[in-house]
Amino acid sequence: MPLLHRSSDQRDDSRPTTAMLRAARSREWAACFPGEASEEAYRATLLRYSPLPWPVVQAAQGDLLRLLIGRVPADLGVPTLLAITALTHGHPKPDAAAKAALATILNDLRPAHARTILAGLADAWNNAERAAYDRRGALVAQELARTARRLVTAGADADGAISTLMEQLELDHWW
């Protein structure tokens, strides 16, 4: 038997491939985020929140929309978009901060934890929507801090993604 040749009766105990991990994450994501996530769904849902025409929203929020459309259902994604925009309004680089925060939520958190954060942001926006514009960001930040504390207490921050998110958003007193 050659030294470098594996016999056919040996088991292959290799780790999962990147493609296998991506497929598993995609299945987990789909289970946590059922619903319509098309661009058309985002257009229709946005009309319930704002009278702005779609091309204006797309020009202003294109980077965030590209992260959301096709992944997060519109009924959750639109209020999340508005909440993150309000949350990062006072940041020195609001567009970059919003994109980094949303990318952290969508790419670094487990799908169930991402859904919890996104649902918290959407609820925060729905509650803050009736407040004065300059108070909305603070109200969203308070709700996000509560949601993050609950997740961390439940052990959801083992890899530090939630702490990173809160630091990106410069929410120093969340814990």
pLDDT in tens, the chain (175 residues): 555 555 555 555 578 898 998 888 889 988 999 999 999 999 999 999 999 999 999 999 999 999 999 999 999 999 999 999 999 988 899 999 999 999 999 999 999 999 999 999 999 999 998 999 889 999 999 999 999 999 999 988 888 899 999 988 888 766 6
pLDDT attached to residue 116: 96
- 57-96: burial string, b at 16+ Cβ within 10 Å, e else: bbeebeebbebbbebbbbbbbbbbbbbbbbbbeebeeeee
111 neighbors 119 (Cβ within 8 angstroms): no
Residue 20, number of CB atoms within 10 A of its CB: 10
pLDDT attached to residue 171: 82
Q: Which residue has the tokens 């009278």?
A: 51
pLDDT attached to residue 173: 67
